[in-house]
Each structure stands twice: as C-alpha cells, then as structure tokens.
Amino acid sequence: MLKHRGFPGRLPGTDFQFTIRRANPKGVTPLTRRERYRDRKAADKRADTAFLEALWEHFGDQPFERGNLDAGRLSWLFGREVVPAEDPFDPASYDALLKIDFETARQSFPDIFGGEA
C-alpha cells in the first residue's frame, strides 16, 4: 500500500480521517458511492471540502493511486468528483487509480475551483 507522504492525515481539530496508517488485515474496504443529502451536518461538508482540496493540491489533474487514502472519506466523493482512472477498475484495491473529475468538482465545490462552469 502506497503511503502518500505530505497528505494531511485528518481535518484539523476533528476526528475526520483522511488517511489510514496501515493496510486492513481483513481485506481492503471497497470504494462505494455514498449519497450526500442536503441535510448533512456542516462539519461533514467541511470535511468533504477539505479532503477534495487536499486531493487537488496533492495530485491536481493527474491520476493517483488510492494507497492509504481513507475509503470512507473517498466514498463521499467517489463516482462524482473522484472517478476511476483505469478500466477495469477494482474498488477493493489499494493499487486502484483514481482521478478528479474537474468539471463535476468545480460545480460541486465552487469555493475550491472558482465557480460554476
């Protein structure tokens, strides 16, 4: 499992985790698309924003390996702002390649990417 050096481990001042320390000995947690409902807590929305901003600052528009990025946090963005960068894609692999869908991310998070398209 690739460890992304320099990537923030969590949202400062919270328990929202961005990375994991070690591979899960019981198996890799698969990425799944989680629905973001309008009534989510503000702290959850801040975590999504901070995580996507960290992804953008760390990887930009280049494909990146899932590695030690937290599956739970990725799943809140997966299938929308973060998409598979390879075909076939294995959602239960630490080696899976992902990328940021810039247009979707810009519409969903205008504060990071400078507004609507």
Question: What are the residue ranges spanned by the domains of the chain?
Answer: 63-111
**Predicted confidence band at 117 (pLDDT cuts at 50, 70, 90)?**
very low
CA distance 54 to 8: 7
pLDDT at 112: 86
Model confidence at 88: pLDDT above 60? yes
**Predicted confidence band at 13 (pLDDT cuts at 50, 70, 90)?**
confident
- Report percent pLDDT > 70 for the chain: 97
Kindly tell me the sign of the dihedral angle through the C-alpha atoms of 46, 49, 52, 56: negative
CB 85 within 8 A of CB 63: yes
Give the distance, in angstroms, between the CA of residue 101 and the centroid of all CA atoms in the same chain: 11
Q: Position 2: which residue type?
A: L
CA distance 12 to 14: 6
pLDDT at 115: 59
